[in-house]
Structure 1
């Protein structure tokens, strides 16, 4: 029974990990192929990168976490080295998001469409950070409103706080 549960979680974690890494690749690909070629102004491109880099970092960290978590789920706590690494990541991510916001403010695109797109990308990075390091935000759509109000601790934070 426990082995069956573990295998189910390992499959789910594989899906989550690959999904986050694919999301990072999609965002980067869209930026490089569709957004940046349409931005004539260097400042507009800098604003986009200011928003995009923190998002990509959080998505890659999340994808790597889920893939690595497959090795310890239901067996033992998160390895000490990884707990420390993700604690540092949490601090670095806040700094990256703050620096990204400063970059957006300094280089805010003049066009309303580009400005909204840049802010939306940055906000998505904030939401992903909150979902992994503050309070869980991802739930099935039909149960989202009732479940998100429970302010559950994200799996990553629970793993980081588990003592061997």
Structure 2
């Protein structure tokens, strides 16, 4: 059951890249401004990272490895992602100011916030609680370190 859950999470994170992009650009006709595309690229990047992590975590279970493969890469990504988020904030702020702080840049700001939340959710504290067990643990013990954060600090 745990293996199926991890595979489902991997597929959903990767599918969400397509779903969110199509929904925002085609269905809701989000203007393809620099701000909006920057936010979208950041969200997509973090969703891909999350999807890859869940695939590697599922593989760890199958192979009974002590840790998921690729943890050195994820340690690097934990630092690189902070730089990407900071650069994204600068790009979005500059584009928003240049375009007159209009409504057209708001989706980019919202997407950047979503990217920050995805980063925190994967690399630090589990923010997503979508199962009964997750919710029960949240209400009884509060927030806890994410799976990836625990894997990053284990067996260095």
The TM-score normalised by the length of structure 1 is 0.79
What corresponds to 1:125 in structure 2?
A: 115
**1:160 aligned to 2:152?**
yes
Distance 2:136 2:79 in 1: 29
C-alpha contact 2:9 2:51 (8 A) present in aligned 1: yes
Aligned equivalent of 1:96, options 84, 95, 99: 84
TM alignment of 1:53-72, pairs within 5 A: 53-72=41-60
State the distance in 2 between where 1:120 and 1:144 align: 25
1:78 aligned onto 2:67: yes
Partner residue of 1:26?
A: 19
What secondary structure is seen at the aligned counterpart in 1 of 2:110?
helix
Matched, 1:147 2:133: no
- Cα 1:163/1:151, change in 2 over 3 Å: same
Shift of 1:26: 1.5
CA root-mean-square deviation: 2.7
What residue in structure 2 maps to residue 135 of structure 1? 125
Name the counterpart of 1:9. Answer: 2
Q: State the 1:38 CA deviation.
A: 5.7
Consecutive aligned runs of 4 or more in structure 1 exceeding 4 Å deviation: 141-146
Instruction: Classify 1:84/1:146 alpha carbon distance in 2 versus 1 (closer, same or farther; 3 Å).
Output: closer
Query: Which ranges in structure 2 are unaligned for 5 or more consecutive residues?
Result: none
Please give the secondary structure, in 1, of the residue aligned with 2:67: coil
Give the unaligned 5+ runs of structure 1.
1-7
TM-score, normalised by the number of residues in structure 2: 0.82
